[in-house]
Structure 1
C-alpha cells in the first residue's frame, strides 16, 4: 500500500497533514483510494499526480474540525467532474454533499480498498466526540500497518480535550493500544499535525529533564532536531516508549504532575499532564 503525507497550512503555522491512502498498483480510473482530512484542496491537489487525484473515490475525516474537514465540499466538487465521492466521517458535523453518500462508521467497522487493504475504524472520543482513528493493513505485507490518528495521538503527545475529559482521552488511547496488542512494533503512526518539535520541548522541560532518564525519548529528540517531516517514522511501540501520555505510571511523569507518591488515577494524571501542556 501507499501512504502519501500531504502538507497543509504549513506557511500559516497549522502544520496539518492530509494523507492519500492507495494501493501500490498504478492509479487508475477503477481504483478505490482514500483522501484523509483534505482541509485545503488546492494545496493537496498540487502535491498529487493526475493519476493519484483521479484515483480518489472516498473522502475520510478523523473529526469535524475545519482544519481537517473544512475542505470536504470543495474537494468533492473537484472530484465530481468524474464521480461523486463517498464520505466516511465521524458525525454529520463534517460537511458533506448529501446524506445518501455518507458512512458513519461504528467502532470496529472495517472497510476494504480492493481485495488486499483493510481499514478498521476505532472510535476515540475526547478531542471531539466524533474523533475516529483508522487502522490500515495490507495483506500482501504482513508486517505493514499504519494508523491515522487525527488529533487524538501525536508523536510524543495527544490532542487537547476540546469536547472531552482526561478520563475519555485515557480510555481512547488505551483502546488504541488494546486493539493493536501484538502488533505495536508494526503499526506506524500518522497524526493530523506535525507537532513533534513542540511536544519534545514540553517533555524535555517537564518530564524527562535530563539525558539518560528515558533513552527512547533522547533518541526521539535527536531525530527531531534534524528532521522536519516526522509522520510515519515511529510506531506505536515507539510511542509506548517515549510518549508521556501513554506512560502515565512512569515515575517521572508522576513527578511532573505532582504525584510522586502515586496517589492519582491514570485519568487524573492524564488531565494534569494535558493541563501542563496547555499552559506550556
Structure 2
C-alpha cells in the first residue's frame, strides 16, 4: 500500500494532514480528511484523482471534514463522480456511510477496521489498515492520537481518552509483537511541541526514557514526522499511553501511585493545555 501525506494549513499554523491511502497498484484510494480542497487537489495527480473511491473523515471538526462538499465537487470536475463520504457521524458534511465500531471495509487488498474512539469528539474514528499482500500496517488517528501526545478532550473525559487510547486501540491492533508494525498517521504535525512538553514536564533526564530520546532527536531534525513512528513507539514514549509509569505519575503529583488512571490522564491533559 501507499500513504501520501498532504500538508494543509501549514502557513496559518494548523499543520494539518490529509492522506491519500492507496492500494499497492495505486488503482484504488481513500482520501482522508481533505479539509482544504485547494491544497489537497493541487497535490494530487490525475491518476490519483481517478483512483479515489471515498472521502473519509476521522471526525467532524472543520479542519478535517470542512472540505467534504468542495472536494467532492472538485473531484467531479476532474471526472471522478464518487459520492461516498465515510465518517463517524452526520455532523461531518454530506456523510452518507457511518461505520459502526469495528466495522470493516476493503480497498483492493487492504483491509480497514474502523475503531470508534470517542473523546476528542464523540464521533472520532481511527482507521486501522492492513495490506494483505505487502503486510504493511498503519493507523490513521485524526486528533485522538498524536506522536507523543493526544487530542484535547473537547467532547469527553480523561476516562474516555484512556479507554480510547489504551483499550479500544490496543485490543484491536493485534498482540504486542505486532505493534512495531503499525505506523501512526495523525491529523496534525504536533510532534515537536509534544516533545518539548515531555522533556520539560515528564522525562526531564536523558536516563528516564531512551526511546523518547530517539523521538526528540528525530523531531528536532525533521519537520515531517508522520508515519515515522509506530504504536510500539507510542507505548514506549507517549505519556498519555503510559499512565502507570512511575515517572509519569510522579511528575503529575502522584508519587504514591494511588490515583485512578483517569485522574492521571486528566492531570496530564491539564498540564499540556497550560504548557
Give 1:229's match in structure 2, choosing from 221, 224, 227: 224
Give 2:124's match in structure 1, choosing from 131, 138, 141: 131
1:107 aligns with 2:105: no
TM-score between the two structures when normalised by the length of structure 2: 0.96
> For 1:39-188, what aligned pairs fall within 5 Å after superposition?
39-81=35-77, 82=79, 83-96=81-94, 102-114=96-108, 116-142=109-135, 144-174=136-166, 175-182=168-175, 183-188=178-183
Specify every segment of 5 or more residues in structure 2 that has no aligned partner in the other structure, as ranges. Answer: none
Equivalent residues, number: 270
TM superposition shift of 1:249: 0.7
- Residue by residue over 1:230-251, the C-alpha shift from the partner in whole angstroms, topping out at 9 and shown as x without a partner, is 0000000000000000000111
Question: Are the aligned partners of 1:32 and 1:58 in contact in 2 as well (CA < 8 Å)?
Answer: no
- Residue by residue over 1:130-181, the C-alpha shift from the partner in whole angstroms, topping out at 9 and shown as x without a partner, is 0000000000022x10000000000000000000000000000121011113
Question: Following superposition, which runs of at least 4 residues in structure 1 exceed 3 angstroms of deviation?
Answer: none
Question: Are the aligned partners of 1:123 and 1:130 in contact in 2 as well (CA < 8 Å)?
Answer: yes
Give 1:239's match in structure 2, choosing from 221, 234, 239: 234
Question: Are the aligned partners of 1:34 and 1:60 in contact in 2 as well (CA < 8 Å)?
Answer: yes
Counterpart-to-counterpart distance in 2, 1:228 and 1:203:
18
Counterpart-to-counterpart distance in 2, 1:262 and 1:25:
51
TM-score between the two structures when normalised by the length of structure 1: 0.95
- Residue by residue over 1:207-253, the C-alpha shift from the partner in whole angstroms, topping out at 9 and shown as x without a partner, is 00011110000111011110010000000000000000000011111
Specify every segment of 5 or more residues in structure 1 that has no aligned partner in the other structure, as ranges. Answer: none
Counterpart-to-counterpart distance in 2, 1:112 and 1:137:
10
1:17 aligns with 2:13: no
